[in-house]
Amino acid sequence: MKVTFEEPANQDDADAKDLLQQTGSVSDVVKLVNQTVVLPNDTRIVFTSTDDGTGPFYDPATKQIMFPYPFVSFIANTFADNEPDITAEDLATATDNSVVWILLHEMSHALVDQLELPVLSKEEDVADNIATVMLSLIGAEGGDIALAGADLFGYLQEDPSKLTESAFWDEHSLDLQRANETACLVYGSDPTAFAGLENSIPAERRDRCPAEWEQISSGVSQVLDPYLKP
């Protein structure tokens, strides 16, 4: 996988590009995947000002991941709107971490497509799970990155009373479901390191999180094992 940062079309896009290049997190996660998994095709990750409103996506026809700069700004604005007292430093971290988690989600779609991985649930849920498990390879920091993605989706959840039927037909689970599932997996991966989540997860679900983590992480390991680099 290779990353390309296209020339920004405006100042907001330029700010997004600067953030991602200064932190180096995008390059780091691409390096992680490249060092871990063998892919049969060169896969480009393109950060671009081109934006049709659909957000980041993996295109199986071109083997490319497109990530619009405006979506980076959208993430930052979502955190700023929901956490009015957030510092500039924390806002940058939350935005950067969320970009990494979403990028890994799209990279997971690439893995499913190119490695023809079995999909036994909605592919969107599978991609969330692969991304979260991959992040565990870098320890507690990876869990923090996944939790930033969970926070983002929690903030994006529409008022349940305003949901229409189409929301329940969507290929994605509800935003809050995605947030909660990710938080449960992160907690389950290391209940001691992520003890701070205990009050956020209902006890009856919290008790099951370690077993759910074991089930999902072992499943991801099994399907990826034939393609792992030595």
Question: Degrees (nearest 5) of the Cα angle 144, 99, 86?
Answer: 65
pLDDT band at 105 (very low <50, low <70, confident <90, very high): very high
Pairing of strands 44-48, 64-68: parallel
> So what's the pLDDT on residue 152?
96
pLDDT in tens, 68-102: 999 999 999 999 999 999 999 999 999 999 999 99
**230: which 2 tokens?**
């030595």
184, 201 Cβ separation under 8 angstroms: yes
> So what's the pLDDT on residue 170?
67
> So what's the pLDDT on residue 140?
84
Query: Which residue has 């992480």 as its token pair?
Result: 217
Domain ranges of the chain: 2-227
pTM attached to this predicted model: 0.91
**36: which 2 tokens?**
């871990």
pLDDT in tens, 112-144: 999 999 987 889 999 999 999 999 888 889 999
Question: What percent of the chain is predicted at pLDDT more than 90?
Answer: 84
Amino acid at 75: I
* Among the listed residues 102, 105, 81, 79, the one whose alpha carbon sits nearest the alpha carbon of residue 92: 79
Whole-number Å distance between alpha carbons of 92 and 106: 21
> So what's the pLDDT on residue 145?
96
pLDDT in tens, 151-184: 999 998 767 777 677 767 666 778 889 999 999 9
Whole-number Å distance between alpha carbons of 1 and 106: 12
